[in-house]
A = this chain, B = another copy of it.
Amino acid sequence: MTRLHAGNPLSDSPDPVRAMLDSMAAWTGAPENEAQCPVRDVLDRVGQKWTLLILVALEPAPKRFSQLQRQVGDISKRMLTQTLRQLERDGLVSRQVFPTKPPSVEYALTGLGRSALAPIGALLVWADSNHGAIRASRAAFDAEEVA
């Protein structure tokens, strides 16, 4: 991870990342065909409050519906259901019903879902190591505002 903190972090990044960002910046624009733009498509999912949190929660092991709800804590059943359905539809999570009484349902990451956790993890590592700087910047900004 040291590379991420030295010099210009971007020019230190693997080529594909830099190239992707450059080419991507070119077509950030409004997509005529929504589904055709991978960036928008994935970013829309990512930009849904619970998606990443649930993927991370499923990483250590598969979990049942109410286990998930207890772990995430402040998610409503409604949003949990909705988010899980979407993730299942996208193929990131699998859903398996067991004929217990009452029936229990187990959610697990698929291979695709697991592969998503690599970039997501990188983002969280960044978040963790830069959280201090962000909080400091906010404090400074707010201090100026008041003045």
Contacts and interface: CB of A to CB of B under 8 A. Distances in A.
Nearest to A140: B91
Q: How many copies does the complex hold?
A: 2
A17 B130 contact: no
A50 to B, nearest CB: 8
Given A20-B121, A91-B137, A9 B115 contact: yes
A38 B127 CA distance: 6
A28 interface: yes
B137 A21 contact: no
Interface of A: 1, 4-5, 8-10, 12-14, 16-18, 20-22, 24-25, 28-30, 35, 38-39, 41-44, 46-49, 51-53, 56-57, 59-60, 71-74, 88-92, 112, 114-128, 130-131, 133-138, 141-142
Contact of A17 (B41, B88, B125): B125
Contact of A43 (B52, B73, B114): B52
Contacts of A92: 134
A67 to B, nearest CB: 12
Contact of A124 (B30, B42, B60, B131): B42
B122 A25 contact: no
Nearest to A11: B114
Contact of A10 (B24, B118, B142): B118
